[in-house]
Structure 1
Amino acid sequence: MLSIPDDYNQKANMDYPLVLFLHGMGERGSDLNAVKANGLPKLAEEQNFPFILVSPQCPLGVERYSTWLLHIDSIYALLEDLITQYRVDEDRIYVTGLSMGGYGTWEIAKQHPEKFAAMAPICGGGSVEHLERLKDVPVWAFHGAKDDVVPMEESQVMVEALRSAGGNVKLTIYPEATHDSWTETYNDPAFYTWLLNQKRAKGRIIK
């Protein structure tokens, strides 16, 4: 699913930031309308974002075991294809996602740290292996303190490990939030201000 800024065709000489959004487990399948259930694709139905928004859908897979972690290469290939087709500012490419997409956010950024200007995983987690590769990628993570689906500790472990590796990382905990810590995050103008102000660090070369 792709959302383009309203002024895209009016500013032919302008490159746009690109945000990659990874949905949660409940939106897997082959019905693209399901991707609009939560997060940025849902909001894009109601407002115009000043960035290109790409929201791929994770296939359901055999026996329902499919997650973003199995499709990192496909996501990256999609991103590369979009860069060739649209006017993308390659110093302002971002990734964010919620729940299963939060795990995917950590993983794709870890595998391709040279590509992203910043990342924002929400109620996610992952493996701390090779996390030092993200030390030059600004990270803002979010989690609900009362999350009964993905424990808050999942984000805390990632954040502390990256901080120990010298990373530029911060974690926002919503004291009363359960699993839905994305609504408050994506409704906060400060989130977009922070995200869109990040630029790829000099010296990080796109591979």
Structure 2
Amino acid sequence: MFTALCLAAFLASCGGGGGSGGTSSTTTSTTGSTSGSTSGTPTGSGLLTSAPRDSDGDVQVGDAQFVMEPEIQDWFYKVTGFPTNFNFHLYLPESYKSGGDTAYPLLIQLHGDDGYKETLPALTLGHMDGSPLQPLLNGRQLNPAGRSGLNPHVRESFVVAPEVPHVDRTGNFAEPLGYWNPNAIKKIIAFMQAKYRIDSKRIYVTGASMGGGGTFHVTNRSTNIVAAAVPMCFGYDQPLSPGMYSMPLWFFQSYDDGAVNYQQSLSAFSSLLPLLFPWESFPSKTNAPTKTYTISYAPGTGLTPWIEGAQTISGLSHYTLYPTGGHNAWDRTYANEVMWDWLYAQRKAN
């Protein structure tokens, strides 16, 4: 199960998604087995405790009654799943029609630990700041005209932006929703697949800081579901599942990050490589870098040389190191069209 070291890496401060509002609602329950799960017992804060864990050590969750409330017309929703699952914002693709037959990608974006989101289950707009959905914000208000400012790939995707109601800082992860619980995210994916035409070969996860660790962890526990992931500025100390070694991943990190040292994310990247050490060939190994560099790995050919810029070459996994930017690696990454082109080109083989 999670350790205190992993928790510390998750809880470095970062920005990302939330929201509120709505005028009408519909209720839809998740589908699938609830074997081994529990509804738990609410504490004074309404959070679930004492839920059983699965074989990976993650807390199990029961099925949620997801309640949808439109916030922007019929394409942006507040979805309530608490207390058995995360609340989340839901964006629908611009060209999506309920009577069509086209399947669309699903992007899941996991926010970081802003420090102010502690015990309130209510969905906010704060975590959308610095997320792929940021163009939909005008200050702290929703901006319907911002849809045209979304990355074209994102604009034609379903986007789920959940919000952790309570960050569990005990190191024990007793709260099922106190960290980026893969079991809860899987329930949300199942809900989306039951309600909408989701392309099961194009489910992607991204996030920074606590959300970067969450991205890596959810992917690690869901390699049969996730097609590719983009984690940023995070650390991770858990064993890897076999499917991670063939998972398309692109890591992003700032060298001068004072919250999560670059060696933490580089260690996570290196854990995917068979006794290869990318830092040994880094151009500025003994000095602080002044340029952005990217290195790639492919199982058949190994590591490529580091190249300048935040672009990928050929390969399976990629690691980009920005020279500056502090803990904020997400603004540049989400503005990088090359990254989005790469992510949306990834598809599961089956």
Question: What is the TM-score with the length of structure 2 in the denominator?
Answer: 0.54
TM-superposed deviation, 1:169? 1.3
| CA distance in 2: counterparts of 1:85 and 1:32, whole angstroms | 24
Judged with a 3 Å threshold, the aligned counterparts in structure 2 of structure 1 residues 190 and 163 are, in CA distance, closer, same or farther, namely: same
Report the AA paired with residue 101 of structure 2: N
Report the AA paired with residue 329 of structure 2: S
SS at match of 2:320: strand
SS at match of 1:14: coil
Residue 196 of structure 2 is matched in structure 1 by: 86
Residue 108 of structure 2 is matched in structure 1 by: 20
Residue 116 of structure 1 is matched in structure 2 by: 226
SS at match of 1:80: helix
Partners of 1:146 and 1:176 within 8 A in 2: yes
Partners of 2:91 and 2:160 within 8 A in 1: yes
Deviations 1:71-117 (A, max 9, x none): 22112111111111111000000000111000000101111101011
Report the AA paired with residue 236 of structure 2: G
TM-superposed deviation, 1:130? 2.0
Report the AA paired with residue 186 of structure 1: Y
Deviations 1:47-90 (A, max 9, x none): 34121100000112567987534x22112111111111111000
Among candidates 150, 155, 160, match of residue 54 of structure 1: 160
Percent identity, aligned pairs only, is: 26
Judged with a 3 Å threshold, the aligned counterparts in structure 2 of structure 1 residues 139 and 86 are, in CA distance, closer, same or farther, namely: same
Report the AA paired with residue 128 of structure 2: K
Residue 205 of structure 1 is matched in structure 2 by: none
Residue 9 of structure 1 is matched in structure 2 by: 97
Partners of 1:119 and 1:138 within 8 A in 2: yes
SS at match of 1:162: coil
Two-structure CA RMSD over aligned residues (Å) = 2.2
The answer to whether residue 336 in structure 2 is matched with residue 188 in structure 1 is: yes
Query: Pairwise mapping of residues 98-109 of structure 1 onto structure 2 (< 5 A)?
Result: 98-109=208-219
Query: Pairwise mapping of residues 117-132 of structure 1 onto structure 2 (< 5 A)?
Result: 117-132=227-242
Residue 182 of structure 2 is matched in structure 1 by: 72
Deviations 1:177-197 (A, max 9, x none): 210010000001111100000
- Where structure 1 has 5 or more consecutive residues not aligned to the other structure, the ranges are 203-207
Residue 39 of structure 1 is matched in structure 2 by: 131
Q: Which runs of 4+ in 1 moved over 3 A?
A: 61-67
Partners of 2:168 and 2:179 within 8 A in 1: no
| CA distance in 2: counterparts of 1:188 and 1:122, whole angstroms | 13
TM-superposed deviation, 1:125? 2.1
Deviations 1:154-195 (A, max 9, x none): 110010111228593110011112100100000011111000
Partners of 1:117 and 1:138 within 8 A in 2: yes
Report the AA paired with residue 340 of structure 2: Y
160-169 or 186-195: bigger deviation: 160-169
Residue 205 of structure 2 is matched in structure 1 by: 95
TM-superposed deviation, 1:37? 1.9
- Where structure 2 has 5 or more consecutive residues not aligned to the other structure, the ranges are 1-88, 138-145, 172-176, 276-298, 300-314
| CA distance in 2: counterparts of 1:62 and 1:115, whole angstroms | 26
Which is helix-richer, 1 or 2?
1
Judged with a 3 Å threshold, the aligned counterparts in structure 2 of structure 1 residues 156 and 2 are, in CA distance, closer, same or farther, namely: same
| CA distance in 1: counterparts of 2:231 and 2:190, whole angstroms | 21
| CA distance in 2: counterparts of 1:143 and 1:14, whole angstroms | 35
Report the AA paired with residue 58 of structure 1: V
| CA distance in 2: counterparts of 1:55 and 1:190, whole angstroms | 22
| CA distance in 1: counterparts of 2:169 and 2:324, whole angstroms | 34
Residue 317 of structure 2 is matched in structure 1 by: 169
Judged with a 3 Å threshold, the aligned counterparts in structure 2 of structure 1 residues 173 and 61 are, in CA distance, closer, same or farther, namely: closer
SS at match of 1:141: strand
Question: What is the TM-score with the length of structure 1 in the denominator?
Answer: 0.88
Partners of 1:131 and 1:162 within 8 A in 2: no
Residue 282 of structure 2 is matched in structure 1 by: none
Report the AA paired with residue 143 of structure 1: Q
Partners of 1:68 and 1:101 within 8 A in 2: no
